[in-house]
Structure 1
């Protein structure tokens, strides 16, 4: 159930019966020849499909995240760490105020992971609440399926190339890109990082079959649904 398909009094009635909600978070950043919005598209879609049979409401994806390493790729938007922490905290405070106590954050971007300590601090001051941070693409079963299909997989490679993140007319290079030097890219600014990453793929081929991608997606939806339904206390 999408929050955008509800009005306020439906939410008020809902929280009297169930205190769960899902908040997807993503990023707008380079993904080689895939959509700049890949992380937000995937985080919201996996959340909506996972929550559908449960009736748990899913908020619109927070589109912007922390992506300073990609700042020199046009179209990328990056929030500062302090800004992002305040945004997440304000979102949590808002849903808590309305009665939600079990909150699943479905994260689509590795750069957002530094919010974990904030969530711990927030729960210390909201002791009747539980918050889970679910990095959907690297959750154990989903990543296990990725590695089973092709272990050469990373940011902007085939593993993010779903039918709904592709762009009509965009190039699909026909080679397997060597693994980038992660240590070398981590120690330089965004300009030199862009030079070293080139089009943006970190490792692997640029596209695999839709059959492969749907196998991964099925596991990702089921694994995310398990997070909605289980292990809250």
Structure 2
């Protein structure tokens, strides 16, 4: 259930019998011809789908993460690492204050990885509270499904092109993008990144048939749900 569809008394009643909750983590950054909010959209929607039969509340995705390398693409937003960690700390503190003891961070953006390390640090000073950091898009079963469909998959390529991340009326290129050199990319200034990656697809096809994407989605939902079920100890 989405937090936005609940009032406070419903959450109070929920906490009488369960203490699990999901906080999705996203970003606002270039994704070639897909939505700037791809990561936030997918993190939230995969979390909602996974949590639905379990009745676990899901917060709105945190819409901004760590994306400094894309700041030469208009529309991208980023936080300083210290700001982001402080934000995650405040959110975890708030969830624990209300009685959520099993917190799952469903992450949709690779740049948010510092939150995973911080979650371990935070747990050390909050006995009795468990935090899972789940990169839904590269968890073992989901990543295996990606490779089964097409081993050439990357940022802003077909693997992120779902009906919910497309922009109405925008046609995707039909020719695949050659893979970029990631090691080289990591040394670049944002202006150089933009010049190097063009539209923003790191490599591979821009789109796959919706039936194929549904297969990938189903695996991602099932794997995320399994993490919610446990174990938590």
**The two structures share one fold, judged by TM-score above 0.5:** yes
* SS state at 2:119 partner: helix
Partner of 2:11: 11
Q: Does 2:201 align with 1:201?
A: yes
Partner of 2:169: 169
Partner of 1:47: 47
Alpha-carbon distance between aligned partners in 1 of 2:54 and 2:218, rounded to the nearest angstrom = 16
* SS state at 2:195 partner: helix
More displaced, 95-104 or 114-123? 114-123
**CA positional deviation for 1:169:** 2.0
Q: Does 2:123 align with 1:123?
A: yes
Q: Does 2:213 align with 1:219?
A: no
Alpha-carbon distance between aligned partners in 2 of 1:75 and 1:216, rounded to the nearest angstrom = 28
**CA positional deviation for 1:89:** 0.4
**Aligned counterparts, 1:16-27, within 5 A:** 16-27=16-27
**Aligned counterparts, 1:73-112, within 5 A:** 73-112=73-112
* SS state at 2:133 partner: strand
- How far does the alpha carbon of each residue in 1:177-214 deviate from its partner, in whole angstroms, 9 at most, with x for none? 11101111110110101111111000101001111100
Partner of 1:182: 182
**Aligned counterparts, 1:125-144, within 5 A:** 125-144=125-144
**CA positional deviation for 1:15:** 1.0
Partner of 2:159: 159
Alpha-carbon distance between aligned partners in 1 of 2:75 and 2:216, rounded to the nearest angstrom = 28
Alpha-carbon distance between aligned partners in 2 of 1:229 and 1:150, rounded to the nearest angstrom = 29
**CA positional deviation for 1:171:** 3.2
Alpha-carbon distance between aligned partners in 1 of 2:210 and 2:225, rounded to the nearest angstrom = 22
* SS state at 2:105 partner: strand
Cα RMSD after superposing both structures:
0.7
Instruction: Please give the TM-score of this superposition, normalised by the length of structure 1.
Output: 0.99
**CA positional deviation for 1:140:** 0.5
Partner of 1:69: 69
> What is the number of residues matched between the two proteins?
233
Alpha-carbon distance between aligned partners in 2 of 1:159 and 1:116, rounded to the nearest angstrom = 23
